[in-house]
Amino acid sequence: MKKTRQAPELRAQVATVLAASGSSPEEAASVAANLVLANLSGHDSHGVGMLPRYVEAVLEGGLKPNTSVQVVLDTGSLLTLNGQRGYGQIVGEQAMGLGITRAQTHGSCIVTLANAHHLGRIGHFAEMAVAQGLVSLHFVNVQARPVVAPFGGADGRYGTNPCCIGVPLKGREPFVLDFATSRVAQGKMRVAHNEGRRVEPGTLIDEHGLPTTDPGVVVVPQSHGLFGALLAFGEHKGYGLAVACELLGGALTGSGTWHQSSNPDVRAIVNGMLTILIDPAKLGTQATFEQEALAFIDWLQAGPVAPGFDAVQIAGDPERAYRQQRQTEGIAVDSQTWQEIVAAGHKVGVTLPD
């Protein structure tokens, strides 16, 4: 059972809970807006359904409200930053703001961000960069319960480790490629479990390492308290990219990599992110870049459309279509997710409507 809610209503309700859990009104409004934007973009896995876990992380001390990014090293075109366990939506935007300014000055900037709490939808940061005419690349690792099995492995050993690339297209909507290196995001399994749905074969293995379509194996403890695991997309290729995200987003940033026993009671999610920003205007190839990029996109979309598809799309098109639709029609939230949000509000003294 789902109920449709309008974005302004959701933003206000989420912000109220965040403020009650310790955030300033400004921080609460910003984090709430980011979560609702994920829902509007079609990524419910990174939307308001994350609120209960955020509240629990604050209460356990793993997420620290009203914390800003710390500049550890600034050489101009190199920034070493520490999120200090602040809200990823806040310290992530702060890191991108610093990096964008440096890239506009120097032509490029490499930004390492360590110890950010859950950064949310990484595509948001790429959208910040392309809006300023910059190319951006992001490699992220996830330190929480390991939910993805290595290729050839039979249990979870690392996180969903997203990768994101943003490319501006002159006079067009940008190319924004944003994906988990697991076949699907962990949050999508939470949504499927709450909705009582099965998932596609080839997505999951259970706690015994056997194939399953039950998303609950990575959401709630199974036999002997064990969990199942997600599989990497593209077999060894997605697995290899996930390892690269761990090494670049975790090891290189100083945020750390996952190599310990899992504690399912810990609710904090810690991300490290390596961001590379490039200004084509200062690279000396902008005119060719703009011309060739558009020519290639036009070439892709000029071809025949396969049966079952309406058009040949590029990365970013589905999110933009969802935003247009959901701004008008509202955001559907399943009853289980909403009850979890209501319960999170109760923990900090906020009563939301059932």
pLDDT digits (tens, 9 = 90+) for 305-335: 999 999 999 999 999 999 999 999 999 999 9
Distance CA 151, CA 204 (A): 12
d(CA 238, CA 231): 9
Task: Report the pLDDT value the prediction gives residue 185, as an integer from 0 to 100.
Answer: 85
As a whole number of angstroms, the distance between CA 181 and CA 138 comes to 13
Specify the pLDDT at position 261: 77
Q: Specify the pLDDT at position 233.
A: 94
Three-state SS at 320:
helix
Alpha carbon distance 54, 14 (integer Å): 11
Residue ranges of the chain with per-residue pLDDT less than 70: none
Return the CATH number of 69-182+233-284, one of 3.40.47.10, 3.30.1370.60, 3.30.420.10, 3.30.365.10: 3.30.1370.60
Domains 1-66+317-354 and 69-182+233-284 share a fold: no
1-66+317-354 — its CATH code?
A: 1.10.1530.10
- Digit-coded pLDDT (tens) for 262-321: 777 789 999 999 999 999 999 999 999 999 999 999 999 999 999 999 999 999 999 999
69 in Cβ contact with 58 (< 8 Å):
no
Long-range contacts at 196-203 (CB < 8 A, ≥ 24 apart): 202/231, 203/230, 203/231
- The pLDDT assigned to 70 comes to 98
What pLDDT was estimated at residue 180? 95
How is residue 53 written in tokens? 């876990």
| Domain residue ranges of the chain, discontinuous segments joined by + | 1-66+317-354, 69-182+233-284
